[in-house]
Amino acid sequence: MARKAPRVHCELGPVLVNRTAVYKMCRAIPGELQQRGFRVSCSALLSRVAAHDAEPKTRWNQWLFRKSQEWLHWASTKPEIFTKARLATAPVPRWRAGRGVSLFLDPLYTVFYGSPGNGVVLVYDITTVSDPGWHGAGVTRLYSLAFELMAQSRCHIVASCQNTADQMRVNWGIAPSRITVLPLGLFSFPKPAPRQVDSKTEPFLLFVGNLEPRKNVPGLIQAYAESQLYAKRGIRLRIIGSLPPADHPVLALARATPGVDVLGFVSDEEVAAAYEHCLGFIYPSFCEGFGLPLLEAMHRGCVCLSTILGASPEIAQDAALYVNPYSPSEIAQGLREIVELSQAERSRLSERAKELARAFTWPKFYDGLADVLQNQAAA
C-alpha cells in the first residue's frame, strides 16, 4: 500500500501584521509544499486561510481573521495576562491545526499553541530578545517565552543564516542537530523602469529597507554627512523604503542633511532602476537575519558596502566591503572608499556579487524545508 503523503499545517500568523518578505513567504510556501507532495492546511491563528494566497475566504474566517489580529495585539500589550491565560486558549489553534507536523513561519506564534511540540519553526534573527528597545517590552516578553518553549520542546528549527543558528545554540542551548540552516532566495524582480531625466540623475549611493532602528539609517545619514561626498563631489544618498510618521527624528535628520533624498515606498520597477544606476549599495544594519535587499543589490551587480555583523558576510562573502555599523566614522570612510574604487575593482566586485547571488534560490530553500518536514514527520 502506498504511504500517505505527510500532512503539514502551516501557521501563517505573520500575515496578520506583516506585508514584507515574510508575508511573501507565507503566500508561497504552502503551494510549494503541495507541489512536493505534502497535504497542506493553513491558518492565521483562529482563521482558516487559503493555501494559494494566505487570505481568509469566507465571512466567518474573515471575522476570525480580525479577531486573531485583536488577540495578537492584546497579547503584545498585555503579555502578563496572556502568559497566564495561554494554556487555556491554546487548544483552539491546536484544534484548528489538527494532526501532522505544524510549520510556524515565525517563533512568536508558537506561544499561542502552548508549545511548538514536534513542529518546525522558522527563525530569522533573535533581535526581538537581544535588542528589546527596537521592538517593545511586550513583544520581547512573548518572543522570550517562544524561544524558551522551543528549547524545551522537540521542535526542529530552520534558521535563515548560520549566525542565527549559532545564537540559538549559545543563548538557549539548542543542539546543532535540531537546527538546519536554509538561506532564503531571491524574489522575482521586474526589469528596471526607464531612467528618467530629472534632478535625481546625479550620481547617488543607495539604501533600500524600512527605516526601523536596526537598519541604522541615522548612523548612515550621519556618516554620509561626515564623508562630505555631496559637498565635494555632488554624490547624493537615496533612501528607499516604507516611511515612519512625518515627525519622526530620522526624517528630520534626513531633511537637515544636504544631498539626502528620502523617496519612501516606490514601485518594484523603480527599485530595480535604482539598483541598476547607483554608485554603490549601502547596508550598515546593526543586525540582519538574512538581508534580502543586499541579495537584490548583488543580483543587480551593485558594488556593496555592508555591515560586518549578522548574516551579511555569509551572503556577500568577498563581494562586498564591510564596516562596523556602530562607527559612523568607519561608515564614512567606507562610503569614500566605495566611490573611489577603480573601474577594474568595481567590475570585479560586481561580477563576483552576481555570481554569489545566483546560489540563493527559492527552489533550494523549499527543497530543504521539505526534507526537514519529512524527517520531522517520520520522527
* pLDDT at position 152: 95
- Residue 62 amino acid letter: Q
User: Does one domain contain both 341 and 372?
Assistant: no
Structural domain that includes position 291: 199-357
Contact status, residue 122 vs residue 180, Cβ threshold 8 Å: no
User: Does one domain contain both 16 and 92?
Assistant: yes
pLDDT digits (tens, 9 = 90+) for 250-270: 999 999 999 999 998 888 889
* pLDDT at position 197: 43
Q: Which residues contact 254 (CB under 8 A, 6 or more apart)?
A: 221, 239, 260, 262
User: Does one domain contain both 137 and 220?
Assistant: no
Q: Which residue has the cell 521586474?
A: 190
User: Does one domain contain both 275 and 179?
Assistant: no
d(CA 213, CA 244): 11
User: Does one domain contain both 291 and 368?
Assistant: no
Q: Per the structure, how many domains does the chain have?
A: 2
With 0-12 / 13-18 / 19 or more C-beta atoms within 10 angstroms meaning exposed / middle / buried, residue 94 is middle
> E strands of the chain, at which residues?
7-11, 39-44, 47-48, 101-104, 120-123, 156-159, 179-181, 204-208, 236-240, 260-264, 280-283, 304-307, 320-323
Find, among 305, 220, 315, 213, the residue nearest to 259 by Cα. Answer: 220
* pLDDT at position 332: 98
Contact status, residue 338 vs residue 305, Cβ threshold 8 Å: yes
> E strands of 25-88, at which residues?
39-44, 47-48
User: Does one domain contain both 14 and 152?
Assistant: yes
Tell me, yes or no, if the pTM score tops 0.95: no
pLDDT digits (tens, 9 = 90+) for 75-94: 999 999 999 898 888 898 88
Q: Is residue 46 situated within a structural domain? A: yes
CATH number of the domain within which 351 lies? 3.40.50.2000
* pLDDT at position 198: 46
Q: How far is CA 30 from CA 60, 109, 146, in A?
A: 22, 17, 23
Q: Is residue 193 situated within a structural domain? A: no
User: Does one domain contain both 161 and 218?
Assistant: no
Q: Is residue 218 situated within a structural domain? A: yes
User: Does one domain contain both 319 and 366?
Assistant: no
What would you report as the CA-atom Rg of the chain, rounded to the nearest whole angstrom?
22
* pLDDT at position 379: 81
Residues of the chain with pLDDT under 70: 1-4, 19, 190, 192-200
User: Does one domain contain both 88 and 124?
Assistant: yes
* pLDDT at position 98: 82
* pLDDT at position 333: 97
d(CA 58, CA 73): 23
CATH number of the domain within which 75 lies? 3.40.50
The grid coordinates of residue 193 equal 523602469
User: Does one domain contain both 226 and 177?
Assistant: no
> E strands of 35-89, at which residues?
39-44, 47-48
Q: How many helices and strands (H and E) does the chain possess?
A: 16, 13
